[in-house]
Amino acid sequence: MKTIFYFFYNILLYIALPFVWVIAYFNDKLAGSLSGQRDITSRVLTFKDKVKSDPKPVIWTHAASAGEFEQMRPILNRLSELDVYIYQTFTSATIFYKASHDKIFHGVSFLPWDLYTRVNRFATLLKPDLFINTRHDIWPNLQRSLHNNQIRNILINANLYQNSKRLIPGLRGINALVFNQIDHIYTGSSSLKSMLEKIYAGQIDVVGDSRFDQVHERSRNNAEMLITKQLIADRRVVVYGSVGDSDLGIITDAIAQVPTDKAFMHIVVPHETAERDLIPWETELYRQKVKSIRKSEIEQFKNESVIIWDSVGQLADLYKYADLAFIGAGFGAGVHSVTEAAIYNVPCSHGPNYDILAEAIDLVEEGLSTVVNEVDDLTKFLAMSEDTISELSQLIDTFVNERLGATDKIIESEPLFRSLTPQ
């Protein structure tokens, strides 16, 4: 079965390649990724030449995109304290061009396309002592090459959502072939472990999620003042994080309907901040007779109840001001990260499509977040009593603390790292 699967998988890849090039002509992100494939070999050879005079263990780390890179960051920080070389690969062009100059890396490139000849050449040239991947960016030929070359490979923060296609009966056996070439899996919860065991027969350790470590560390070092105390004094602050078109109607309706016996400050943070993404929020709020102002115009503040946050990269730090939070995309493809709000012990809500995130599932199952299906659900959440908010915040604090420390557990578990001493 294994031979048949790889035969047809590789045939399909070669058939798909011309179409990828055509699509790339109309897609800048994909075009950037394709362009990055051209110098992968030269980057590896440059790295090998640079380090050959001082041999040390080589750790190959991979992050598909920005989210995975954030999860990998705590591990990278710990690896930088060890006497090793770090070679980083990316799939996404966006994060590659943003992070590739980070001094923590000794070498960096795109991940080769999952053609066996390409990934095998890459793996044999690099000859890493360990490969670390995160979440679910699993490629069949890459795993096959690592296994065939006896390169130990581990998967951290492993995630497998309940309705994953990997668990469909007809595909489960195929995914088991690929997953069982991983040497060790680290995951965040017992429920995730149970799902992973359906397609993986190796060792799985429940250690938590390094993303919590990353966000927690950022929260401790966050001293920037994003909102003045005068602006939010005596108001219940609600942060609507990474929201988009699918969330717009239900959020604006709820804002217009919240009880008037409380003073609210609603901070709406769109997932995209281009002008075309901001105008619909302003238009709909105006229609609902709700006054709003953009963050970039805050100097002209005249007691508006909604701030539309048009600055990027500040959402995670905004949650420290929040009493409550609504996380976007739960009415669309799937809810965005709830971790940042949880780190600040903020009770959160979101739409019904949350089963792509283990931490969101856990929060719901423990009664620590609210699933919103209609406007009334959100208005009730916004009107939550102070006592209930305080009680939930304490429980969320316990929830978070139980999930911290994944980074240390992974480092302490791996044989290679245990053999190394800090620089």
326 forms bridges with which residues in the sheet? 240, 349
Extract the tokens encoding 376. 């009334």
pLDDT at 423 over 60: no
> Which positions ≥6 away from 42 have C-beta within 8 Å?
none
Burial class of residue 299 in the structure, from the number of CB atoms within 10 Å of its CB (0-12 exposed, 13-18 middle, 19+ buried) = exposed
Report the phi/psi class of residue 164: left, alpha or beta, with left for phi > 0 and alpha for psi in -120 to 50.
beta
Residue-level pLDDT at 336: 93
Three-class DSSP category at 161: coil
Q: DSSP readout, 28-75? A: HHHHHHHHHGGGHHHHHHHHHHHHTTS---EEEEEESSHHHHHHHHHH
What is the Cα–Cα distance from 148 to 181, expressed in whole angstroms?
9
What is the Cα–Cα distance from 287 to 401, expressed in whole angstroms?
43
Average pLDDT, the chain: 91
In which element (H, E) is residue 171 found? Answer: helix 169-179
What is the reported pTM? 0.82
Distance from chain centroid for Cα 367: 23
Instruction: Count other Cβ atoms within 10 Å, centred on residue 300.
Output: 9
Residue 36: pLDDT band with limits 50, 70, 90: confident
For the ranges 161-175, 201-215, 262-276, the lowest mean pLDDT is seen at 161-175
Torsion of the alpha carbons at 416, 70, 63 and 398, rounded to the nearest 10: 60
Q: What is the distance in angstroms between the CA of the first residue and the CA of the last residue of the chain?
A: 47
Long-range contacts of 122-126 (CB under 8 A, 24+ apart): 122/40, 122/41, 122/44, 123/149, 123/151, 124/149, 125/41, 125/44, 125/45, 125/48, 126/44, 126/47, 126/48, 126/58, 126/60, 126/87
For the ranges 26-35, 208-217, 305-314, 399-408, the lowest mean pLDDT is seen at 26-35
Q: Are 244 and 250 in contact (CB under 8 A)?
A: no
Domain boundaries, the chain: 2-208+405-418, 229-401
Q: Which amino acid is at 298?
A: I
What is the Cα–Cα distance from 68 to 66, expressed in whole angstroms?
6
Tell me what the mean pLDDT of segment 228-254 comes to: 94
CATH fold for domain 229-401: Rossmann fold (3.40.50)
Same fold, 2-208+405-418 and 229-401: yes
Tokens 């995109």 sit on residue: 65
Q: Are 59 and 128 in contact (CB under 8 A)?
A: yes
CA atoms within 13 A on the CB side of 240: 34
Long-range contacts of 10-17 (CB under 8 A, 24+ apart): 10/115, 10/116, 10/141, 13/113, 13/114, 13/115, 14/115
Q: Are 214 and 73 in contact (CB under 8 A)?
A: yes
Residue 320: pLDDT band with limits 50, 70, 90: very high
What is the Cα–Cα distance from 229 to 227, expressed in whole angstroms?
6
pLDDT of 345-360, one tens digit each?
A: 999 999 999 988 888 9
pLDDT of 268-290, one tens digit each?
A: 999 999 999 999 999 999 999 99
> Which positions ≥6 away from 194 have C-beta within 8 Å?
none
pLDDT at 256 over 60: yes
What is the Cα–Cα distance from 195 to 208, expressed in whole angstroms?
15
Q: DSSP readout, 324-356? A: EEEETTTTTT-----HHHHHTT--EEE-S--TT
CATH number assigned to the domain covering 2-208+405-418: 3.40.50.11720
Residue-level pLDDT at 422: 56
**At residue 284, what are phi and psi to the nearest 5 degrees?**
-70, -40
What is the Cα–Cα distance from 258 to 270, expressed in whole angstroms?
21
pLDDT of 185-199, one tens digit each?
A: 999 888 889 999 999
